[in-house]
């Protein structure tokens, strides 16, 4: 169980992400400074109790229209080996000390727990409360006849598109993580996928939305 500490981080998450977002290929407002606002998300627990995992939703209207981004993050007490390209930054946590903050799509612990969520082997947790399941995060999985359980790669290979990050799982399967959320599209398992995760967020103007956060495709 992850413990959510009511404390500060310096620099804060939004400060780190404001610098990192414009460097990503799926950032919609190219050439503009990001103005991210936290809009929701959820967490997953690390069975080993070492890595913090957060699936954060940010809204940003620096390009003249609001865009909702999905940013999976991991928080570690020491650097992840051979993952310099995945590092978003470091921050001083008021309780835990220095934390290394990573793009979660490149962290094998987060990829493994996301696969567990998809397959119904773990439960999404509330973003800001300890030991509190988040029933608003829903999953569908129709790949239960798989003979071999899907396992995370030791070092995720990630390819980016204008809207998604695609993680190769090594057996021909792939995990697609939405980066630019699509609230007006159908949720649930998309055509050709064997699993999906749907969650929601609340925009600064109070508008609530839901969208597909991740989908799993068999090889």
Taken in order 168, 170, 174, 179, is the CA torsion positive or negative?
Answer: negative
Q: Residue 207: pLDDT above 60?
A: yes
Q: Residue 188: pLDDT above 90?
A: no
Model confidence band, residue 186 (pLDDT cutoffs 50, 70, 90): low
- % of residues, the chain, pLDDT over 90: 64
Position 151 scores a pLDDT of 83
Over the chain, what is the mean pLDDT?
Answer: 89
Q: Residue 29: pLDDT above 90?
A: no
Distance from C-alpha of 21 to C-alpha of 28, rounded to nearest angstrom: 10
Taken in order 130, 127, 100, 83, is the CA torsion positive or negative?
Answer: positive
Residue with the larger pLDDT of the pair 30 and 6: 30
Position 41 scores a pLDDT of 97
**Cα separation values, 77 from 74, 95, 154, 218, Å:** 10, 12, 19, 34
Residue with the larger pLDDT of the pair 86 and 144: 86
Going from N- to C-terminal start, the domains of the chain cover 9-217
Position 148 scores a pLDDT of 64
Model confidence band, residue 12 (pLDDT cutoffs 50, 70, 90): confident
Position 189 scores a pLDDT of 79
Position 185 scores a pLDDT of 73
Q: Is 27 helix (H, G, I), strand (E, B) or coil?
A: coil
Non-local (6+) Cβ contacts of 147 within 8 A are: none
Distance from C-alpha of 60 to C-alpha of 46, rounded to nearest angstrom: 29
Position 34 scores a pLDDT of 85
For residue 152, the number of C-alpha atoms closer than 13 Å in the C-beta half-sphere is: 20
Q: Residue 2: pLDDT above 80?
A: no
- % of residues, the chain, pLDDT over 70: 90
For the residues 44-66, what does the mean pLDDT come to? 91
pLDDT tens profile 89-124: 999 876 667 899 999 999 999 999 999 999 999 999
């Amino acid at each position: 169980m992850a413990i959510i500490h009511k404390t500060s981080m310096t620099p804060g998450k939004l400060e780190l992400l404001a610098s990192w977002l414009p460097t990503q290929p799926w950032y919609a407002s190219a050439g503009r400074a990001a103005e991210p606002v936290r809009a929701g998300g959820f967490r997953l627990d690390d069975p080993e109790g070492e890595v913090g995992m957060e699936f954060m939703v940010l809204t940003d209207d620096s390009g003249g229209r609001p865009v909702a981004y999905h940013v999976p993050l991991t928080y570690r007490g020491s650097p992840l080996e051979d993952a310099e390209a995945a590092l978003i930054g470091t921050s001083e946590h008021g309780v835990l000390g220095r934390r290394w903050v990573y793009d979660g799509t490149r962290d094998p612990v987060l990829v493994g727990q996301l696969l567990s969520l998809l397959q119904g082997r773990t439960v999404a947790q509330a973003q800001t409360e300890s030991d509190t399941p988040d029933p608003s995060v829903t999953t569908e999985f129709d790949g239960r006849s798989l003979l071999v359980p899907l396992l995370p790669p030791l070092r995720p290979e990630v390819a980016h598109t204008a809207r998604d990050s695609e993680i190769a799982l090594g057996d021909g399967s792939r995990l697609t993580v939405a980066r630019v959320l699509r609230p007006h599209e159908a949720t649930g398992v998309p055509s050709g996928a064997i699993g999906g995760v749907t969650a929601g967020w609340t925009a600064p103007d109070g508008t609530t939305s839901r969208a597909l956060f991740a989908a799993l495709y068999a090889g």
